[in-house]
Amino acid sequence: MTANNADMPLSFGGKTFRSRLFTGTGKFASGALLREAVLASGTELVTMAVKRLDFQGHSDAILPALKDLPVTLLPNTSGARTAKEAVFAAHLAREALGTDFIKVEIHPDVRYLMPDPVETLRATEILAGEGFHVMAYCGADPMLCLRLARAGAAAVMPLGAPIGSNQGLTTRAMLKIIIAQKEAPVVVDAGIGLPSHAAEAMELGADAVLVNTAISVSRDPVTMARAFAGAVAAGRMAWLAGPGAVSGEAHATSPLEAFLRDTDGDLS
Amino acid sequence: MKIQLNGVPADTEAGTLRELLDTLPDLPEHYAVALNDEIIPKEKLSAAGLHEGDTVEVFSFMAGGAC
């Protein structure tokens, strides 16, 4: 890259991230596969849920699989239905892990898992006030993203499509506005189903993307993780390079008129 | 003494939260404990007495979340 478009690492919450691909931990067939995929993705920020242990049944403990990896752990409040529950989950995460990073996820609706904007804003206000680095999962609502940033969110995480749906950037027009007027880093989260979707988000100017399902449910998660890493890097590079304008008309890439004049005599 | 442990009725001889935790198999390295909906910091687990009817919840980290 030239000096003009050399990238700066992404920083928030006192941490610096060279990779702009963040990943989740859900739906992997095993801890070993998760670990391999995380390594292949090059991610430096990995999210996992705070949950009550099930002493009766299967333990789905996640931290042993991530032990000693060069990643920042991002607990999330998945399962919380209200701001109060999310704040409680954040306090548990801080007590258990000693971290101030928290991804606020409040989605009481079980069918579409749409984040509740009112509860999310309330939780963000409270937790940011307590010194947490809040990453707020939210709808792709430009005004809400501004309000979350002004409430102290370290980053806003607007969705591309419903969680785990692999639909891609169905909220593309709103994401463009969110990015254009951002006051906190924008991490496009949820719905990214293919590396091309991740590249598209980065080409729009997103600061990072968070991908889970698209990697974990693919036939070969480790290779898919690598594909996402390449797509995110390519999309970021394209954003830095400054994409050309879109036009409704054709624009020749060589001087057509001169060619026609030169050959006119030969053809008649 | 009967308590509720992670949503399930349990019988325990433990006098403190610390003693109760020490009886649990598979306790992960990183966890947090709530006694009657109040989070008890690690350094206070040994001083936190258990009483009949208490609700104890032990939390840790699991795969998943949104995205």
Per-residue pLDDT of B14-67, as tens digits, reads 999 999 999 988 888 899 999 999 999 999 999 999 999 999 999 998 887 654
Domain boundaries, chain B: 2-60
The CATH code for residues B2-60 is 3.10.20.30
Whether the per-residue pLDDT at A65 is higher than 70: the answer is yes
CB contact under 8 A, A78 and B66: yes
Element spanning A236, H or E? helix A221-241
Rounded CA gap, A12 and A19, in Å? Answer: 13
As for the ipTM of the complex, it is 0.91
On the 0-12 / 13-18 / 19+ scale of CB atoms within 10 A, A9 is exposed
Both tokens of A36, joined, read 């391999």
Chain centroid to Cα A121, Å, comes to: 19
User: DSSP states of A33-73 as a string?
Assistant: HHHHHHHHHT-SEEEEEEEE--SSS---B-HHHHTT-S-EE
On the 0-12 / 13-18 / 19+ scale of CB atoms within 10 A, A265 is exposed
CB-based burial, A227-252: b 16+ in 10 Å, e otherwise: bbbebbbbbbebbbeeeeeeeeeeee
Strand partners, B35: B38, B56
Mutate to test the interface with B, among A53, A58, A112, A116 (most CBs of B within 10 A): A53
Q: Nearest CA to CA, how far is A112 from chain B (Å)?
A: 11
Please identify among residues 26-85 of chain A the ones whose CB lies closer than 8 Å to any CB of chain B: 26-28, 34, 47-56, 59-64, 73, 75-76, 78
Whether the per-residue pLDDT at A212 is higher than 70: the answer is yes
CB A71 within 8 A of CB A42: no
Per-residue pLDDT of A70-126, as tens digits, reads 999 999 999 899 999 999 999 999 999 999 999 999 998 888 999 999 999 999 999
